[in-house]
A and B are shown apart, each in its own frame.
Chain A
Amino acid sequence: MADGQVVPLGEEQHNRKPRNTPFRQQTMKAYKPVPTVKSAVIIFTTLGSIFIIVGSVLLSYSLEIIEHRKRYDNVGECDKTKYDRLSLCNITFDVTDEMSSTVYFYYELDNFYQNHRRYVKSKSQNQLMGNDLSKGSVSTDCDPIVTMEDLGIEPKYREGGWDLTDKDVANPCGLIAKTFFNDTFIMWDQNGHRVNILENDIAWPSDKDRKFKNLKNWQKKQWKDVEDEHFIVWMRVSGLPNFRKLWGRIEDDLTVGTYTVQINSTYDVSDFDGKKYVVISTANALGGRNDFLGIAYIVVGGITILLAIAFFVRGYFFKKSQDLHYS
């Protein structure tokens, strides 16, 4: 009854009987699964088998991949601990099985925290999309790298052509852009022929599409070409401190033999005990070499089958009375 509200006589005389609808009475049509030994054995066996099959397929795909990986930050002049200024060095790969095209060329960094909170957010997506933004409007996003001075690139490394002072806004700004990975690679086969590494189509098409646009006359206002695919790849930050980034594609088959990669190493990782690698790998529909998923499927499937067997044995051979004891 509402708080002292005026209720005229005669109202409320009606029947208070609740209405008989399936919803009100909770008698809607419903499916009620009953777990039984039989259904459990069937479900678990089926599921286990499917998982083992899927796992095997995944694993076979993964094992199909040929992958070569070499560290180079400790090689020759690329070794910062021995040489003050980084420079050229060579590493070799022994390709023992033919790698059919397309072969992908990666660099790999270890102990590099692209996913550090400070690093991840330090970019201005608006600016990257080709908007000429002032210092003020990028200062929060790009903190702590906002101006050219913050970038701290020595004049001699500047590519030239731009018209910028230290006080101008850095375009692209932010830590990610500043620390762009700029080692370059050249590859020869054993006969001394240069292997053609294509450096396009290496970034996600969705990223290339609209997310990175140069300004008009960008050479004058930007210190870096943001439509450069290497840059776009770098800007898509990696989730783990150990990561690979696609550097190029080799559209030729790599026949058996020894290949040499010459690295122009300018990117220093020695301060934080980082490691740099070169990786060449084939790829198939499931990507690169990764046994984890295949094994995961097989393990889960295996456990499921084991459980099915356990249920079967427990349910059929040591059958206990399932009946009710009416007491």
Chain B
Amino acid sequence: MAEVSDSNTKRILYVNGFELNQIHDFQSNYVSTTKYNLVTFFPLSLLEQYKRLPNVYFLIIVILQSIPQITPLRSWSGLVAVVFILAVSMIREGFEDYLRYKSDKETNSAKTMIYRNGKFEEATFKEVQVGNVVLVQKDEAFPCDLVMLSSSADNGIAYIETSSLDGEKTLKPRQAVIATMNDTRKDDIIRIFSLIECEHPNARLYHFSGSLEYNDKKQPLDKNNLLLAGAFLRNTAWIVGAAVYTGKETKLRQNLMSRKSKQSFIERKTNQYIVGILAAQTGFCVIMAILYGVWSYQEYDDHYYLSDPDYSAGLQGFLNYFTYFLLLNTMLPISLIVSLEIIKIAQGFFMQQDLEMYSTIRDRPCHVSAFSLNEELGMIEHIFSDKTGTLTSNRMQFKLCTVGNKMYGEKQFLISRQYSSKVTRQTKEIIFTFKVEEIENDLYGKDGDAPLSSPVVMEMSYGKEGLYSQKELLDQFVKCMSICHECLIEENENKESNYIGQSPDEIVLVDFAAHIGYKYDKLKAGIMDIKRLHFGMEDQCDLLRFEKCATLEFNSDRKRNSVIVKDLQTNKMILYTKGADSEIKKRLSQENLKAYLDKVSNDLQTYSERGYRTLMFTYKILEEANYIEWKRRFDEASTSIEGREERIDKLAEEIEQDLFLLGCTAVEDSLQDDVPQTIQALLSAGINVWMLTGDKLETAENIGKTCSLVDENMIVERCPGNLSLDDCLECMRYINSRFESEKKDKPAALLIEGGALEKVLFDEGDPIKITKYPELSKSQVTLQKAREIKQLFLKMALVCKTVICCRVTPGEKREIVKLMKDNTGIKTLAVGDGANDVSMILEAHIGVGIYGEEGMQAVQASDYSIGEFKFLWELLLVHGRFNYIRQSEMIMYFFYKNLVFTMPHFFFGFYCAYSGQAFYDDWYITFYNLIFTALPLLMRALFERDIEIPKRSEVGQTAQTKKDLLRHLIPKVYEVGRDNRIFTPFHFWTWNLMGYIHAVAVFFIPLYASEEGIMNSRGYNYSQWGLSVTSFSCIIFVVNFKLGLHTKLWSIYHYIAILGTSILCYFIFIVVYDPFTTLPTAKTLYQMLTTQYYYVCILVAIGFVFTLDYGVQILKKVLWPSVSDKIMKFSIQIRKEQEKDND
């Protein structure tokens, strides 16, 4: 059967064909996102816990601890910590699952209408099956993914809100299938029985292709026909749709499944250090095993009071390995993982709460989706930034246009950067400043009638077609603007119509056309109405009607879009194409007159040098016969499912030829607030900033200049895209040699165009690239050259402060990031706002999304999202740096504090015949990480701050007050994380060393002080547990003191944590614990507290730690201060002065 084989590549279903669909075994629409039920919860969630390696490690420890021959501790004490940790994670897991269960239940039992038994009957979501015809009313959610058959609106348009899928609040229009639109009304008997073919379920929210057979005609289906499960129907009374994907197969569910997590540098490094610690631990255990083996062999028998040994000396030694493994496993405490989780979530919380990162324009605070990368924000070396919407505000201003030989608009803009004109209209997307008089005169007045010196003439089969006057030329130019686009009209409550659409450029052009009298008014049943108002007067109004026959959409590879319409006034078929000049120029007809082609090109050049976004406009009249033949193939292609896009691209290429140039436009996308300052700060923080843009080189360079990426002090080199392989190599060699000869004196900037990047990004292992670029893959010589280009580029990319890549596609953006990431090991951050940045955002170490006008896809894919570009300042230089410092020091301290309390067991081994006797009592060991030292380090990791950061609002733009100066100095200290100055092996081992030294202090001070055995004036003796309790008390004080020495900010929380939860809790514990007479430590503490020995030991241990640590700190800070130290001092000076002023 053909269908079966087909169903491997596509999904085939029948609308209303329940029995026929059954053979396919589609998913039911019952949604179950829970992982467990009441019975399976305990075993499965426990199992889930043990999928994590650390938990397995701790389980092994618990098992070992229950073997009496091995354990130095009471078998259950270790269990407490593990049970506690597991219980916490399992309760969390259980709670989350319960929430999922509740929301599932709600979803499954929600009501919708299914067409059954000749009418729409109420049913629950879970009953919906693939092929069902479903009726959804206003403000209801869609039960599953539906193909829209009809809607309450005459034009078949319905609006959906997809905020639950991608967070976007703006309504998206969806289009009913035109053919079924009138036959499947709400109250009709729905006879439709159609075959739908579409792709298999996938996670691409904004992609869908398929076809619907109706009345023996195949209708193409695309993303505009698809209503997504989880979205809501808005502003539309009802829709009727056919279910295509249900249950787990809906786009929503498919999307939930795929998100790969990124691992941070610190995390990887921590794992390495853990291996180091494990090695040390193993070493210590082996030493003890050997020594005990030898001691057992030589001496055990002599010590008759120990009774006969249980095993041979060798076995005793071997078992002793595990005994010490149990004693020393606290070097790697289970609580590290928990503490890190807590700190990451808390850091994320503070980032999200930071008012400094709250964007008032967008009503968005910073949003954190990947808590695990917090500290990596402080370690970024290269930033890859999108331009439009990221650096710029995506708020367009129509500036100038050239039509034929004439430039319209204020030429002052081209001369002076400061020049500005009056804003006459302003919306979210548009600022309107254009003076319309001149262009209106030419369009409607007598001025435009004068014949053109270089008319546009095209030879048709029936004769000549042409534009002979400026008026005719302008007419087509403006028509192209108001017809060739994908904007929609949205009416608000006041009956004012607004244009909405994916591309702000298009909106501004349609809006401009409307302003000069060509008002795009209505699109209904494929007929576009354009109202033509003479001089903007409503009473002199023509209605122009066009039948929209085919649309060739814009995408960033094509860089152009076209519309084919039938002019219903003249019945001519017209193709309007607009796009980037590089693409358009290739497709122009030879019959275009050279003179005005040059004029338009020159003007466009001027515009782009000024940094404006430019577009070229063309048109062409099609021969009816050619068109019909082409249209047939086009329809076929657009209903195909396999390779549809490639086929359409080919057909587009075919028809978008021999175009006639009308003119070009210049639109300014103004920069967002503070972009130049932010980029300057990032550059002076030593971060290399890349701008990746689809603009041409000149535009990009200009934008680069306005946003401080490139300045006069830089050596700027350009590598254009239109060079041959050899020339490109030559060019790269030259640039490289220039950078090398001058790199010490000046920062360097490189501008490189897409054509050259293709060579850089060429990968000889990738078969697609080999076929795509035959000129590179044709011989070994060319391959070698491509390789050299890549090497040169990598070398230069590291030297350059700034790299601007122009004319890049989204795919290339990702490849550039990947190239740099894989070949140089730098830490990368990609920032963007649109769907075309998603791949780059996912590729980089950290992806930052900007809430923009282009939807939420970048934000959805990102790890962090912010409202405006300028908040990168706070995100990286403030939070990133602090997170890095706080987290890395916390991890080091964690290892330190556990060494201090673990090593005494090892030292004690040398006094207890290596027998594995624990130096501290079990509960002391258990509670050490769990309670006594749990909070102080968290407080430090939450609040530690070396420098007071002046707020954005507190400073002016230039360095005037001390606060301004301080804010300008902040980037200088970013180097701490960028060069990873703290989390280095050197620091790690220094902290470890401190751990060993302090362990020596807390062990040997009480030991030597007790050596002669008389502890007070009553002549009593010391005992093992007296020594142990004293030493442990020293530890509590020493580790807190050490933490205090490293704390630069003391708030109430610090005092509570150190004095309250640590020291006070400790004393409460030991006082309460001491009287339990069955414990070995019973009644020890009361006696110790009455001796001077106890206090004197603690005091000298603290004194020792203070002198050692603080001495080193002072030596380092005061006598050889780092930049951070100096700035810290400066910041505190400022604060003190301010306080003085306030008094």
Partner-B contacts on A (CB < 8 A):
1-9, 12, 15-20, 24-26, 28-37, 40, 43-44, 47, 51, 54, 58, 67, 102, 104, 106, 108, 112-121, 125-126, 129, 140, 144-145, 175, 178-179, 201-207, 209-211, 233, 236-246, 249, 271-273, 281, 283-290, 292-293, 296-297, 300-301, 303-304, 307, 311, 314-315, 320, 322-324, 326
Report yes or no: A296 in contact with B1052, Cβ–Cβ below 8 A. no
Question: B419 at the A/B interface (Cβ < 8 Å)?
Answer: no
Question: B969 at the A/B interface (Cβ < 8 Å)?
Answer: yes
Report yes or no: A6 in contact with B110, Cβ–Cβ below 8 A. yes
Question: B943 at the A/B interface (Cβ < 8 Å)?
Answer: yes
Q: 5 shortest A-B CB distances, which residue pairs?
A: A288-B1014, A244-B1013, A104-B1019, A206-B1083, A239-B1024
Note all chain A residues with C-beta closer than 8 A to B1053.
Answer: 28
**Given A28-B1053, A106-B1013, A307-B1107, A116:B913 Cβ within 8 A:** yes
Note all chain B residues with C-beta closer than 8 A to A293.
Answer: 1005, 1009, 1093, 1096-1097, 1100
Query: In the complex, what residue of chain A is closest to B1050 when comparing beta carbons?
Result: A31
Instruction: Tell me which of B164, B234, B945 contacts A26 (CB under 8 A).
Output: B945
User: What are 16 A-to-B residue pairs whose CB atoms are below 8 Å?
Assistant: A4-B165, A5-B103, A6-B106, A6-B107, A15-B363, A24-B353, A33-B1050, A115-B908, A117-B72, A120-B917, A178-B305, A239-B1007, A243-B1013, A245-B1021, A285-B1016, A322-B1126
Given contact pairs A1-B164, A4-B256, A326-B969, enumerate 14 new A-B contacts (beta carbons under 8 Å). Answer: A3-B256, A6-B106, A6-B107, A6-B110, A18-B355, A31-B1050, A37-B1118, A108-B1013, A115-B911, A125-B1079, A178-B305, A237-B1024, A287-B1092, A289-B1014
**Which of B1013, B1048, B1080, B1128 lies at the interface centre, i.e. has the most chain A CB atoms within 10 A of its CB?**
B1013
Question: B564 at the A/B interface (Cβ < 8 Å)?
Answer: no
Partner-A contacts on B (CB < 8 A):
33, 68, 72, 100, 103, 106-107, 110, 139, 141, 161, 163-165, 167, 169, 229-230, 232, 234, 252-253, 256, 299, 302-308, 310, 323, 350, 352-355, 358, 360, 363-365, 908, 911-913, 915-917, 943, 945, 965, 969, 1005, 1007-1028, 1048-1053, 1077-1080, 1082-1084, 1086-1087, 1091-1093, 1096-1097, 1099-1100, 1103-1104, 1106-1107, 1110-1111, 1113-1115, 1117-1119, 1121, 1126-1130, 1132, 1135
A28 to B1129 CA separation, bound complex (whole angstroms) = 20
**Given A113-B915, A314-B1119, A297:B1019 Cβ within 8 A:** no
A244 to B1050 CA separation, bound complex (whole angstroms) = 46
Distance of A290 from chain B, by nearest CB (Å): 5
**Given A3-B33, A106-B1013, A324-B969, A296:B1005 Cβ within 8 A:** yes
A16 to B867 CA separation, bound complex (whole angstroms) = 12
Report yes or no: B355 in contact with A20, Cβ–Cβ below 8 A. yes
A273 to B350 CA separation, bound complex (whole angstroms) = 65
Instruction: Tell me which of B908, B1018, B1117 contacts A35 (CB under 8 A).
Output: B1117
Report yes or no: A16 in contact with B1097, Cβ–Cβ below 8 A. no
Instruction: Tell me which of B1012, B1080, B1103 contacts A47 (CB under 8 A).
Output: B1103
Note all chain A residues with C-beta closer than 8 A to B165.
Answer: 4
Report yes or no: B365 in contact with A40, Cβ–Cβ below 8 A. no
**Given A4-B252, A115-B917, A125:B1078 Cβ within 8 A:** yes
**Which of B304, B917, B1028 lies at the interface centre, i.e. has the most chain A CB atoms within 10 A of its CB?**
B917
A297 to B310 CA separation, bound complex (whole angstroms) = 45
Report yes or no: A32 in contact with B1049, Cβ–Cβ below 8 A. yes
A120 to B921 CA separation, bound complex (whole angstroms) = 12
Report yes or no: A117 in contact with B1012, Cβ–Cβ below 8 A. no
Distance of B155 from chain A, by nearest CB (Å): 23
**Which of B106, B323, B1110 lies at the interface centre, i.e. has the most chain A CB atoms within 10 A of its CB?**
B1110
Instruction: Tell me which of B68, B252, B1009 contacts A290 (CB under 8 A).
Output: B1009
Note all chain B residues with C-beta closer than 8 A to A323.
Answer: 1126
Instruction: Tell me which of A31, A33, A238, A292 contacts B1024 (CB under 8 A).
Output: A238
Report yes or no: A283 in contact with B1016, Cβ–Cβ below 8 A. yes
Distance of B121 from chain A, by nearest CB (Å): 22
User: Interface SS of chain A: helix, strand, loop or mixed?
Assistant: loop
Report yes or no: B1132 in contact with A34, Cβ–Cβ below 8 A. yes
Instruction: Tell me which of A16, A19, A175 contacts B305 (CB under 8 A).
Output: A175
Query: In the complex, what residue of chain B is closest to A291 when comparing beta carbons?
Result: B1012
A37 to B1125 CA separation, bound complex (whole angstroms) = 13
Distance of A273 from chain B, by nearest CB (Å): 7
Report yes or no: B1100 in contact with A17, Cβ–Cβ below 8 A. no
Query: In the complex, what residue of chain B is closest to A311 when comparing beta carbons?
Result: B1114
Report yes or no: A246 in contact with B1021, Cβ–Cβ below 8 A. yes
Report yes or no: A36 in contact with B68, Cβ–Cβ below 8 A. no
Query: In the complex, what residue of chain A is closest to B1047 when comparing beta carbons?
Result: A33
Report yes or no: B1106 in contact with A315, Cβ–Cβ below 8 A. no
A281 to B943 CA separation, bound complex (whole angstroms) = 54
Query: In the complex, what residue of chain A is closest to B968 when comparing beta carbons?
Result: A326
A202 to B1103 CA separation, bound complex (whole angstroms) = 34
Query: In the complex, what residue of chain B is closest to A24 when comparing beta carbons?
Result: B353
A122 to B1080 CA separation, bound complex (whole angstroms) = 11
Report yes or no: A18 in contact with B365, Cβ–Cβ below 8 A. yes
Report yes or no: A25 in contact with B354, Cβ–Cβ below 8 A. yes
Report yes or no: B355 in contact with A246, Cβ–Cβ below 8 A. no
Note all chain B residues with C-beta closer than 8 A to A6.
Answer: 106-107, 110, 141, 164
A144 to B69 CA separation, bound complex (whole angstroms) = 12
**Given A33-B1048, A297-B1100, A239:B1077 Cβ within 8 A:** no
Query: In the complex, what residue of chain A is closest to B1052 when comparing beta carbons?
Result: A28
Query: In the complex, what residue of chain A is closest to B1078 when comparing beta carbons?
Result: A125
A25 to B951 CA separation, bound complex (whole angstroms) = 11
Report yes or no: B913 in contact with A271, Cβ–Cβ below 8 A. no
Instruction: Tell me which of B365, B1019, B1078 contacts A246 (CB under 8 A).
Output: B1019
Instruction: Tell me which of B164, B304, B306, B1103 contacts A297 (CB under 8 A).
Output: B1103
Note all chain A residues with C-beta closer than 8 A to B1014.
Answer: 104, 106, 244, 281, 283, 287-290
Note all chain B residues with C-beta closer than 8 A to A287.
Answer: 1012, 1014-1017, 1091-1093
Note all chain B residues with C-beta closer than 8 A to A1.
Answer: 163-164, 167
**Given A28-B1051, A31-B1050, A271-B304, A211:B1082 Cβ within 8 A:** yes
Note all chain B residues with C-beta closer than 8 A to A106.
Answer: 1013-1014, 1021
Note all chain B residues with C-beta closer than 8 A to A271.
Answer: 302-304
Distance of A132 from chain B, by nearest CB (Å): 16
Report yes or no: A16 in contact with B355, Cβ–Cβ below 8 A. no
Report yes or no: A204 in contact with B304, Cβ–Cβ below 8 A. no
Report yes or no: B363 in contact with A324, Cβ–Cβ below 8 A. no
Query: In the complex, what residue of chain A is closest to B1097 when comparing beta carbons?
Result: A293
Report yes or no: B1100 in contact with A300, Cβ–Cβ below 8 A. yes
Note all chain A residues with C-beta closer than 8 A to B229.
Answer: 4
A30 to B1048 CA separation, bound complex (whole angstroms) = 10
Report yes or no: A7 in contact with B163, Cβ–Cβ below 8 A. yes
Note all chain A residues with C-beta closer than 8 A to B1017.
Answer: 283-285, 287
Report yes or no: A244 in contact with B1012, Cβ–Cβ below 8 A. yes
Note all chain A residues with C-beta closer than 8 A to B1011.
Answer: 240, 242, 290, 292
**Given A6-B164, A272-B304, A293-B1100, A25:B353 Cβ within 8 A:** yes
Note all chain A residues with C-beta closer than 8 A to B1015.
Answer: 287-288
Note all chain A residues with C-beta closer than 8 A to B1077.
Answer: 125, 129, 210-211
A119 to B1005 CA separation, bound complex (whole angstroms) = 25
Report yes or no: B302 in contact with A272, Cβ–Cβ below 8 A. yes
Report yes or no: B103 in contact with A3, Cβ–Cβ below 8 A. yes
**Given A7-B164, A324-B1126, A241:B911 Cβ within 8 A:** yes
Distance of B885 from chain A, by nearest CB (Å): 14
Query: In the complex, what residue of chain B is closest to A19 when comparing beta carbons?
Result: B353
Report yes or no: A118 in contact with B912, Cβ–Cβ below 8 A. no
Report yes or no: A118 in contact with B915, Cβ–Cβ below 8 A. yes
Query: In the complex, what residue of chain A is closest to B1054 when comparing beta carbons?
Result: A30
Note all chain B residues with C-beta closer than 8 A to A286.
Answer: 1016, 1092-1093, 1096
Distance of B1002 from chain A, by nearest CB (Å): 13
Distance of B1047 from chain A, by nearest CB (Å): 8
Instruction: Tell me which of A205, A246, A315 contacts B1118 (CB under 8 A).
Output: A315
**Given A4-B165, A6-B164, A272-B304, A289:B1082 Cβ within 8 A:** no
A266 to B969 CA separation, bound complex (whole angstroms) = 80
